[in-house]
Chain A
Amino acid sequence: MTDIHCELLVIGAGPGGYVCAIRAAQLGVDTVVVEAESPGGSCLNVGCIPSKALIHAADEFHKLMHLNDSPLGIRSAAPTLDFTQTLAWKDGIVARLNSGVAGLLRAARARLLSGSARFVDGKTIRLSNAAGEQLIHAKKIVIATGAKPTELPSLPFGGDVISSTEALALSAVPSRLVVVGGGYIGLELGTAFAKLGSKLTVVESGDEILPLYDQALTQPVKERLLELGAEILTSTTAEAATPGALVVRSAGGETREIPADKILVAVGRTPRTEAVGLSELSLTMNGPCIDIDDHCQSSMRGVYAIGDVTGGPMLAHRAMAQGQMVAEIVAGMNRQWDKRCIPAVCFTDPEIVDCGLSPGAAELEGVDVVTGVFPLAANGRAMTTGTEAGFVRVLARADNHLVLGMQAVGAGVSELSAAFAIALEMGARLEDIAGTVHAHPTQSEALQEACLQALGQGLHL
């Protein structure tokens, strides 16, 4: 087959890669994007989107199951679950978005090629697919190959030991599910299955679940998990899988068998570098990740890397922002990574949202801060939806009240991430947010109140 020549080649059509390709093509750069699987990457196919669909279905089912216990006075017969239908609905959303991404690429006139890519040199890759092999020559290359679930040597994937990918495509709800890893992926999926009826056990080697967040934020999640009948084993390591069970060892050294129909291993994600033959380029690495500068440029001129392959935080929106930036750099614009915050959301029950500096980080960096916390229990809207667990917290510099960090835990607080991120990027002060009229009755009032609290002017507490 004849070789393909282009200005920009993007390897991987995940959130980083497809955004990069669309933006570059919009700017008139001749762009090719190569993807071995369906466009959309982990996020769209086996991550954010399908998991959120499953979580929503589980929430709805669980709500109906417990409707008769609710104080609202609504009574109903017990619901039934057609899980096959649930999965079909989820798959329908994924399929719609797959074709949506392909359509966006087409509309922008970026060429999407199917197949796996392998580096020949810093300007050439070999594309392999059913039709054979083909060389692609590009002036600039963007590596956006993403990451894959990390495998534990003691618990190789296969059989009943599954990763998040398989967990999103189980044919039936497992009656006993053990989740190894108390991070956000394990807890999001674990909670969903617990609500769908699984007996959930979480095995975490550290002392706390969600170790990236402080205890105040994770406490409501822990309480809710216990309420859902889950067992949380911290300081406990998974030893081996036996037929129908997982052997774990506690910090004290005692081993124990936990009966399990499925064992979900969610201990993190590993950058995907070997399949594209990255070792041959001998780029500077930062551990398993490609080392990049603030232009997302790797150690090789003209080779950029974006998204999960460059390390944390492994979040789709970070990859998208990087992809957009690199496209503009390739198109000749002067751009550099200058973001103040990358918001992070856990779709646990309740949700956690985290933007900017945490109290722990502030202490570590020696920044003198004032903190304001407003509990949702004092928020009218939270009361009317029966979701009073959680709070909104704001951290600001003590000297000039510049907002440095904002966190919240509570039902539906993921949508507050926009307000948090805008405040941080705009360089808002406590007075700016406190002086902004927040609509009543909404949960967002808690944000204004938290700022008032930090200023010592709280009204509703």
Chain B
Amino acid sequence: MGTHTVLMPDVGEGIAEAEILEWPVQVGDKVREDDVLSIVMTDKAAVEVPSSVQGEVLWLAGEAGDTVAIGAPLIKLRVEGEGNASDVPPNSEPAISETPVGAAVSMPPASVTGARQQTSSPTSVAESQTVTESALAAPSTEKPLASPAVRKRALDTGVDLRQLQGTGPAGRIVHEDLDGYLAPAMNTGGGRTANTAVTTVKVIGMRRKIAQQMALAKARIPHITIIEEVDMTSLQELRCQLNEQHAAKRDKLSLLPFMMRAMVEAVREQPAMNAHYDDEAELIRQHGAVHIGIATQTPSGLAVPVVRHAESLNPWQAAAELSRLAGAARDGKAKREELQGSTITLSSLGALGAIATTPIINHPEVAIVAVNKIAIRPQWDGQQFQPRKMMNISCAFDHRVIDGWDAAVFVQRLKSLLETPALLFVES
């Protein structure tokens, strides 16, 4: 039996460390080749670390939320054969390593098949084994501190007491801790009582990235927000017609492909809106390509998959790309490059869209367009009120590089494009 060490893989260029997002395995679990050992986080992409060997988990580098340096040991497995010995302490005595060389030669050299790390030499493998083994004895398996009644109740209710933080003396887990843990599940709905429970949630992984990104954007960028109402009646009619006409052959179009089209048209006239502002270098990079970030809700939080080259897509292509990306983001399968590089962002809450929002710019972009919900509202046509399908758009701009005037022009341009949808398809 040997120990096989899997190191934190280099998942993205120029990153010194990555965050452990999830451990699908626990110490003592048996894993097979290709089983996912760990999910780690870099920027916005969650990366699965598969096992290259079969074995038993001996040691994990930390808990979810901890960061581990690239190349540092991430997980250790007990494997048949000699394992790899990537974490051999360099201080192994050269005197000893001389002797077993002869024996080592006769060993099957293939026993490190698939190992990520290069095995230094078979001799140091044998030595490292004992070192690692003794080091592994360290993780304490101290039982959670709780009275027998609490332990029994935990077993009965299927609660792993190791998940709880005791509030009793010496950190003892008391009935109240268990109550608090179970509370959401068994709300008995009796009399109203004060709930003093405090649930502590570690901000890790995607949530941590979102928090950092939002704080950065809000702290650095002086936002100017403009809200304008748009009469969507014509566009909605066009959309319905198109959907009816192609009902059999093509996917249904939502509003978003039209919004994307409108943004492409609007930035054609105002390229300053489709830019990155590098405030440290004091440079604005205006992009020819319109890579539209689509703010998407996923089970683990906000993700912004990017529809690349929106200027080159027709509405159906845009719709297809949109649904593929949104699905990938929701399933956590979006690739790294699909989650970065947007030049302007579109945010839609759909039916939840409210009347107005104050969207936060996706740093280092300079503009974001949010659509609010469509509702039939009375509009004065000069003689009488007409029921029109009205929608607000809430747009925010980086006021450091975009003046209010230009922002207002951009919003008006979007409004007229959407209200006269034919303009969307006129090649200029």
User: Does A334 contact B170, Cβ atoms closer than 8 Å?
Assistant: no
Q: Which of A376-435 contact B (CB under 8 A)?
A: 397, 400-402, 425-427, 429, 431-432
Chain A 330-368 interface mask (CB, 8 Å, partner B; 1/0): 000111101010000000000000000000000000000
Chain B residues with CB under 8 Å of A397's CB are 170
- Nearest CB of B to A144, in Å: 22
Q: Which of A7-29 contact B (CB under 8 A)?
A: none
* Known contacts A334-B155, A334-B156; A425/B147 CB under 8 A: yes
CA distance A30 to B79 in the complex (A): 43
Chain A residues with CB under 8 Å of B151's CB are 338
Is B148's CB within 8 Å of the partner chain A?
Answer: yes
User: Does A429 contact B148, Cβ atoms closer than 8 Å?
Assistant: no
Question: Which of A333, A335, A336, A402 is within 8 Å of B170, CB to CB?
Answer: A402
Chain A residues with CB under 8 Å of B168's CB are 427
Question: Which of A336, A401, A402, A431 is within 8 Å of B145, CB to CB?
Answer: A402
Is B158's CB within 8 Å of the partner chain A?
Answer: yes
CA distance A333 to B154 in the complex (A): 12
Chain A residues with CB under 8 Å of B171's CB are 400
Chain B 358-381 interface mask (CB, 8 Å, partner A; 1/0): 000000000000000000000000
User: Does B148 contact A425, Cβ atoms closer than 8 Å?
Assistant: yes
User: Does A336 contact B148, Cβ atoms closer than 8 Å?
Assistant: no
CA distance A429 to B168 in the complex (A): 11
Is B143's CB within 8 Å of the partner chain A?
Answer: yes
* Known contacts A427-B168, A431-B169; A335/B145 CB under 8 A: no
User: Does A335 contact B155, Cβ atoms closer than 8 Å?
Assistant: yes
* Known contacts A401-B170, A432-B169; A427/B155 CB under 8 A: no
Closest partner residue, chain A, to B156 (CB atom)? A334
User: Does A336 contact B155, Cβ atoms closer than 8 Å?
Assistant: yes
User: Does A334 contact B158, Cβ atoms closer than 8 Å?
Assistant: yes
CA distance A400 to B155 in the complex (A): 26
Q: Which of B151-200 contact A (CB under 8 A)?
A: 151, 155-156, 158, 168-172
Please indicate which of the listed interface residues B151, B156, B168 has the most CB atoms of chain A within 10 Å of its own CB: B151
Is B302's CB within 8 Å of the partner chain A?
Answer: no
- Please name 17 pairs of A and B residues whose Cβ atoms are closer than 8 Å in the assembled complex, sorted by A: A333-B155, A334-B156, A335-B155, A338-B151, A340-B143, A397-B170, A400-B169, A401-B170, A402-B145, A402-B170, A425-B147, A426-B147, A427-B147, A427-B170, A427-B172, A429-B170, A432-B169
- Nearest CB of A to B281, in Å: 52
Is B272's CB within 8 Å of the partner chain A?
Answer: no
- Nearest CB of A to B89, in Å: 22
Is B320's CB within 8 Å of the partner chain A?
Answer: no
Give the size of the chain A interface in residues (CB under 8 angstroms): 16
Chain B residues with CB under 8 Å of A425's CB are 147-148
CA distance A402 to B146 in the complex (A): 12
Chain A 23-60 interface mask (CB, 8 Å, partner B; 1/0): 00000000000000000000000000000000000000
Q: Return the 6 tightest CB-CB contacts between A and B, nearest first.
A: A400-B170, A402-B170, A427-B172, A427-B145, A426-B147, A334-B155
Chain B 118-155 interface mask (CB, 8 Å, partner A; 1/0): 00000000000000000000000001011110010001
Using a CB–CB cutoff of 8 Å, the interface residues on chain A facing chain B are: 333-336, 338, 340, 397, 400-402, 425-427, 429, 431-432
Chain A residues with CB under 8 Å of B147's CB are 425-427
CA distance A310 to B423 in the complex (A): 84
Closest partner residue, chain B, to A399 (CB atom)? B170
Question: Which of A336, A427, A431 is within 8 Å of B146, CB to CB?
Answer: A427
Chain B residues with CB under 8 Å of A432's CB are 169
Closest partner residue, chain A, to B155 (CB atom)? A334
CA distance A431 to B146 in the complex (A): 17
Give the size of the chain B interface in residues (CB under 8 angstroms): 14
Please indicate which of the listed interface residues A338, A340, A431 has the most CB atoms of chain B within 10 Å of its own CB: A338
- Nearest CB of A to B157, in Å: 9
CA distance A236 to B85 in the complex (A): 49
* Known contacts A335-B155, A338-B151; A429/B169 CB under 8 A: yes
- Nearest CB of A to B290, in Å: 57
- Nearest CB of B to A352, in Å: 25
Known: A427-B169, A431-B169. 12 other contacts (CB 8 A): A334-B156, A338-B143, A338-B151, A338-B155, A397-B170, A400-B171, A425-B147, A426-B147, A427-B146, A427-B168, A427-B172, A432-B169
CA distance A340 to B148 in the complex (A): 9
CA distance A76 to B155 in the complex (A): 60
Chain A residues with CB under 8 Å of B146's CB are 427
Please indicate which of the listed interface residues B168, B169, B171 has the most CB atoms of chain A within 10 Å of its own CB: B169
CA distance A427 to B148 in the complex (A): 9
Chain B residues with CB under 8 Å of A333's CB are 155-156
CA distance A340 to B172 in the complex (A): 13
Closest partner residue, chain B, to A397 (CB atom)? B170
Please indicate which of the listed interface residues A402, A427, A429 has the most CB atoms of chain B within 10 Å of its own CB: A427
- Nearest CB of B to A342, in Å: 13
Chain B residues with CB under 8 Å of A401's CB are 170
- Nearest CB of B to A397, in Å: 8
CA distance A425 to B151 in the complex (A): 10
- Nearest CB of A to B302, in Å: 38
Chain B residues with CB under 8 Å of A336's CB are 155
Chain A residues with CB under 8 Å of B172's CB are 427
CA distance A335 to B170 in the complex (A): 25
CA distance A429 to B155 in the complex (A): 24
Closest partner residue, chain A, to B145 (CB atom)? A427
CA distance A384 to B84 in the complex (A): 69
Chain A residues with CB under 8 Å of B145's CB are 402, 427
CA distance A426 to B166 in the complex (A): 13
Closest partner residue, chain A, to B171 (CB atom)? A400
Closest partner residue, chain A, to B148 (CB atom)? A425
CA distance A402 to B169 in the complex (A): 8
- Nearest CB of A to B357, in Å: 48
CA distance A400 to B169 in the complex (A): 8
Chain A residues with CB under 8 Å of B143's CB are 338, 340
CA distance A343 to B151 in the complex (A): 19
- Nearest CB of A to B199, in Å: 23
- Nearest CB of B to A60, in Å: 37
- Nearest CB of B to A385, in Å: 33
CA distance A89 to B145 in the complex (A): 45
CA distance A334 to B171 in the complex (A): 25
Chain A residues with CB under 8 Å of B156's CB are 333-334
- Nearest CB of A to B228, in Å: 60
Chain B residues with CB under 8 Å of A340's CB are 143
Closest partner residue, chain A, to B157 (CB atom)? A334
Chain A residues with CB under 8 Å of B169's CB are 400, 427, 429, 431-432
CA distance A338 to B142 in the complex (A): 11
Chain B residues with CB under 8 Å of A426's CB are 147-148
Closest partner residue, chain B, to A400 (CB atom)? B170
Chain B residues with CB under 8 Å of A334's CB are 155-156, 158
Chain B 332-362 interface mask (CB, 8 Å, partner A; 1/0): 0000000000000000000000000000000
Closest partner residue, chain A, to B140 (CB atom)? A365
